[in-house]
Chains A and B, each alone.
Chain A
Amino acid sequence: MIRRNTQVFIAVLIVFILALLVVFPVGEGVLGKRGVRLGLDLQGGLHVVYQADLSAVASGDEAGAMDGVVAVLENRINPLGVTEPVIQKQGTDRILVELPGLDITDKEKESLSRVALLEFGELVAEGEEPKWENKAGQWKPATAVIDGEEKELTSRYFKQNTYVDRSNLGQILLIFEWDEEGSQLSEEITGRLIDKPLGIFEGDEALQGEDGRPIAPVVRAIITERGQIEGLTYEEASRLSKQLNAGRLPVPLEILYDQTISPILGSDFVGMSVQAGLIGILVVMLFMIFYYRLSGFLASLALIFYGVLVMALFKLIPVTLTLAGMGGFILSIGMAVDANVLIFERMKEELRAGRTLGAAIEAGFDRAWSAIRDSNVTTLIVCVILYWLGSTIVASAPVQGFALTLGIGVLVSMFTAIIVTRTLLRLFVRTGLTSRTGLFSPHLGRK
């Protein structure tokens, strides 16, 4: 049995060293070339859930429309240079977007979910119902009849080669080209609207010029192939150009949940959580050593092992660490020694009953096991339920992070508190320290 214990000890040692190599250096372990993944609350960034408006989509085509939305969002997000963006369908009509580490302005955020469909409009005639209204007048969609079908003139008919240019006078121009159907439409409509204004709208609003006024150029000649939009700011023109080329969203999106965190906020928390974790471990270790002496010291070694092993698992799985997740981990440190406390209390009782140390250790572990198992069950039940809760709701990151880290912590602590502590204690049974029970309990020593 002693030989077997030595083998277990060596195995534990090897696992510990492997775990150390995974954890350190913190940025990129020697094993497993990956840093700890930090959640949005720790590194800042954007977490948005969009609700797609599928009311205009024919039934049966919803999935296709959603795939289209994901593809367009990917096109728009890729240039932002986020290392690990998440763009995911949730359920049938929702899309989750997570952009960790991104410092995004409100304007950029807004433009992410813009449909990017330009619609052209003409002034309404007397008594007609307007679709848009602004300083320049009341507008309805500009339409023309092609092959017996009335069609609206929109950027749907743009070729995907728009670009921004400057006129000789230094004005910003957004240059576009009509496709075949578009040029027929445009020819009809501009022919009809000579010397009249043509409004340009995105969603409910007219495009606005640098001067803040709606853009509504007066048609001077029939436009068939190429056109240009004048008066936009450079910023707006280049955004539109990019989005028009990347494709418009097939359906409008509405923000259901929005969490935007500045990267400055998160950086403090990592340091603070690590500090809290270290102080927590230290106090628990001191307490265990003070109260349980040598066994407490061995339990402290097991606790260090526990900490390293959990961190290694976080990196390997990988677990995205959130502030609540760190909270779960720190909480699990306090709970992790519970198994050791149960065992040591049993050991003390056995020693008091006059057993030898070796026998007391074995009895302590044997009898405490059922209590350890039972006492972790409820915490695990709650973790599973909380994890499920986290997966079903939108604002879930903290709940899920907490449940995951606490659950992992509880499971690992059952291993470290039992296997590691027992192996270390058994190693000591053979040494001369065995007779000095005072090392294990101050009260027994005094007798």
Chain B
Amino acid sequence: MFDIVGKRRWFFIATGIVILVCVISLAVFRLKAGVEFSSGSVMTVAFEQEVVQADLEATLADLGYANVIIQRVGDEDFLIRLPELDSKAKKELETGLTGRLGNLDVKEFDAVSPLVATETTRNAGIAVAVAAVGILLYIAWAFRRMPNPFRYGACALVALAHDALVALGVFSILGGILDWEINLMFVTGVLAVIGYSVNNTVVVFDRVRENLVKDAKSGFETVVNNSLVETLSRSLNTSLTTLFVVIALFLFVGATIQNFAVVLLIGVIAGTYSSLCIAPQLLVVWRKGRWGRGVR
């Protein structure tokens, strides 16, 4: 039998390091707001000839667009993040780019006005808040018959916060290195993954509740560990099948949905980890007041 709960000290240390890295990264790089939240334009262009990113950057600077974010998408496309362009400015930019770098094809053009950006930010905020309340209500309901419902709920919440923080942290790192932005699909992905991963925690806790009744002799720590091991193959298998499809999405579709696939990937991994290695262990710590075996 694996002893997962007994090794909780190591899990807490590892988690602590990851969280610290995420917090530092968030403080240093911060998050880059996508066009839906901050207004402006995004243009996806493909050049007929091979174009190097540095040349594109220099050309854009010459045309009066210095320090714009350029991201390579797929094999040959460039995503250029620009201030809001009206049709005249857009035409001038296209003509300018064609003149220097050869023929191009504007595959996608998005322009978001400040008014829409404000609305989107506000409504996304409301959606996140409503989702949080919904999940809280669900947790309260799911744990209503537990001996200490508040404790179970709080541990599940810590696991959720962990998942969200890791997703944000990784994206701030990606934002710092690759200029990835937080867009509406990021919010969507995080919410979907959180909704999904809270279930993993609930399944484990559900088994703890069942075993506490069945196996009154063993200590709390043993019961939690047994429950964890019993549900382990279910938790891992479900996460694995979900990971398979997310990886397929990332590898075979990529392009504009690439960032979204990465959110899901991080979320599924973080969610599985937190429901197996954080939430149940916290429950034991709370009950026994010990962070690890023999450590007070």
Tell whether A341 pairs with B109 under 8 Å between CB atoms, given A331-B192, A378-B195, A381-B134: no
Q: Say whether A92 faces chain B, with CB atoms less than 8 Å apart.
A: no
Q: Say whether A262 faces chain B, with CB atoms less than 8 Å apart.
A: yes
Determine whether the beta carbon of A323 is less than 8 Å from that of B119: no
Cα separation A379 to B197 with both chains bound (whole Å): 9
Interface size class of B (residues with CB under 8 A): 35 or more
Determine whether the beta carbon of B196 is less than 8 Å from that of A393: no
Q: Which residues of chain B in 3-34 are interfacial with respect to chain A, using CB atoms and an 8 Å cutoff?
A: none
Determine whether the beta carbon of A283 is less than 8 Å from that of B244: yes
Determine whether the beta carbon of B196 is less than 8 Å from that of A330: no
Q: Which residues of chain B in 234-287 are interfacial with respect to chain A, using CB atoms and an 8 Å cutoff?
A: 234, 237-238, 240-246, 248-249, 251-257, 260-261, 264
Q: Say whether B165 faces chain A, with CB atoms less than 8 Å apart.
A: no
Q: Which residues of the other chain, A, contact B231 by a CB distance below 8 angstroms?
A: 345
Binds B, one of A154-162, A167-175, A245-253, A369-377: A369-377
Partner of B198, one of A335, A345, A378, A399: A378
Q: Which residues of the other chain, A, contact B240 by a CB distance below 8 angstroms?
A: 287
Determine whether the beta carbon of A260 is less than 8 Å from that of B184: no
Determine whether the beta carbon of B127 is less than 8 Å from that of A264: no
Q: Which residues of chain B in 159-204 are interfacial with respect to chain A, using CB atoms and an 8 Å cutoff?
A: 184-185, 188, 191-192, 194-196, 198-199, 202-203
By secondary structure, the A interface counts as: helix
Residue from A41, A337, A385 whose CB has the most chain B CB atoms within 10 Å: A385
By secondary structure, the B interface counts as: helix
Partner of B185, one of A106, A276, A394, A398: A398
Count how many chain A residues have C-beta atoms less than 8 Å from C-beta atoms of the other chain: 69
Determine whether the beta carbon of A331 is less than 8 Å from that of B142: no
Cα separation A69 to B111 with both chains bound (whole Å): 22
Q: Say whether A209 faces chain B, with CB atoms less than 8 Å apart.
A: no
Determine whether the beta carbon of A272 is less than 8 Å from that of B252: yes
Q: Which residues of the other chain, B, contact A284 by a CB distance below 8 angstroms?
A: 241, 244-245
Q: Which residues of the other chain, A, contact B140 by a CB distance below 8 angstroms?
A: none
Determine whether the beta carbon of A257 is less than 8 Å from that of B111: yes
Q: Say whether B110 faces chain A, with CB atoms less than 8 Å apart.
A: yes
Cα separation A312 to B279 with both chains bound (whole Å): 40
Partner of A326, one of B120, B130, B233, B253: B253
State the 10 A-B residue pairs at the shortest beta-carbon distance, nearest first: A382-B195, A334-B242, A334-B245, A280-B245, A276-B252, A375-B199, A389-B127, A280-B248, A265-B107, A378-B195
